[in-house]
Structure 1
Amino acid sequence: MSKPSITTILSPRLLQLYDISNSIVVIIDVFRATSTIATALYNGAAKVIPVDSVEQCIATGRNLNAITAGERDGKIIPGLQYGNSPAEYYRDFIHGKTLVLTTTNGTRLLHMALSKGASEVVTGSFPNISAVCNHLLQMNKNVILGCSGWKDRFNLEDTLFAGAIIQRLQEHFTINGCDSSLMAENMYGLHKHHLYSFIQKTSHWHRLAAYGLEKDLEYCITEDGANVLPVYTNNALIAAK
């Protein structure tokens, strides 16, 4: 019996080149959207509604009496209530509430994947890596690891997370024919024992650290701090049972 495949897409701009219709798509935006989504749901948020425009975020929040949040270039967007920091969504604040979220990269890629007919969309980052891997093993379907990158450009942190998933699952999946998966797995293997020091060299780390977000960034590359599986259903991300 042949194994299902794992394909890594290194930038949203490349998504159009792939058939994703029979695949589970994992949206990856390590710094910080998918880390924030996992954290909010882990801490009891009823759901997270990802939207790809500020106007839609404000309107949806008003209609649902929900919390509105988002950032562009690492800064809270005027007109929204909160930002994209996982630390903002602690249990006493977020439990039982709905969060409407828009971000620079991750929420846009999620909607792109939905429009291309992904069979299922989940979100992943280091804080929920085990939940993601366990789900992919259980489903035993082809997987697309979608790296959100930075404004359609390649970034290292999302690719390293893709590599971490591949390394955990490589006995059960094949990456034959996908050089980007081979590269991601090899890169993670080279740097996993000094991930903190290596990732601090990345452009996105420098960009966000300039805003004083180092603690956020360290949390975002720490495994299983918010080990829940966000699954997209009925226009929202909810924690899988």
Structure 2
Amino acid sequence: MANNKPTLYTCLSPALLHLYDLRNAVVVIIDVFRATSTIASALHNGAQCVIPVDEVAKAIALSKNIEGSIAAGERDGQIAEGLQHGNSPLEYDRDFIGNRTLVLTTTNGTRLLQMALDNEADTIITGSFPNLSAVCDFLIKQNKNVVLGCAGWKDRYNLEDTLFAGAVISRIKENFTIHCDSSLSAEIQYDLAKDDLHGFAPKLTHYHRLVDRFGLIEDIRFCMTPDIANVLPLYKEGMLLKG
């Protein structure tokens, strides 16, 4: 009997993205700490849109041409030089970001999104634990091939993005053909951590990069909490919009 289910693959690093065919797929950009969590937070709290860019200079230039916009972002976990706002999901509450445009640049996540565009991705969304259900619902309804793209850390593997990929897979795997060891690995690792994601977080190297150096424990808690900003960021014409 023919298997007509779409396929699902997990790309564990931006350095591997060229190995996957994105042209007829939904690509999920995953940068749990913290870009895709911040995108979900901003849109959930009423931002008109988020414009992801890969360079600080682009963010500054764009924001000057968009009334009411905010140029924001980070490099190596800190607010990037030349910007006044960073990449904390807690920074973008409704009073601050409501009805405004966020122009965002980050070390890993926005770079991966640009790479997906360069590789002719058909549809791009962003995902993290705060919008886990919205991502899963969208992928099932689309019934298209999926590539879960982990942003990692400067092309290196990281575990938090893989855990989120595993969370998605555990929810939607019955709807897809999965013949991909990285996807199997992601689900196995998620199964080990899912009962206490917050307790698991201190095992992660990026946790210590953000908490030990910058004290961002509340950011981490937000980023590891499912469905607290359950919106679907959908990329259209240069913008991530609430889908």
**Interval of TM-score (by shorter of Structure 1 and Structure 2):** over 0.9
Say whether residues 1:128 and 2:136 are aligned partners.
Answer: no
State the distance in 1 between where 2:141 and 2:25 align: 14
**TM superposition score normalised by structure 2:** 0.97
Deviation readout 1:186-230 (Å, 9 max, x if unpaired)? 110122112222221111000000201001001101000000000
Deviation readout 1:48-107 (Å, 9 max, x if unpaired)? 000000110110011113101000011001211200000110001111000000000000
Q: What one-letter code is carried by the residue in structure 1 that aligns with 2:131?
A: N
Identity %: 62
Q: What one-letter code is carried by the residue in structure 2 that aligns with 1:204?
A: H
State the distance in 2 between where 1:46 and 1:60 align: 15
Q: CA deviation at 1:172?
A: 0.9
Alignment of 1:1-241 (within 5 A): 1-65=3-67, 66-176=69-179, 178-210=180-212, 211-240=214-243
Cα root mean square deviation, aligned:
0.8
State the distance in 2 between where 1:199 and 1:183 align: 18
Aligned residues: 239
State the distance in 2 between where 1:103 and 1:226 align: 20
State the distance in 2 between where 1:224 and 1:200 align: 21
Structure 2 residue ranges without an equivalent (≥5): none
Contact map agreement 1:156 1:199 (CA 8 A) in 2: no
State the distance in 2 between where 1:24 and 1:101 align: 22
State the distance in 2 between where 1:194 and 1:226 align: 19
Describe the SS at the equivalent of 1:232: strand
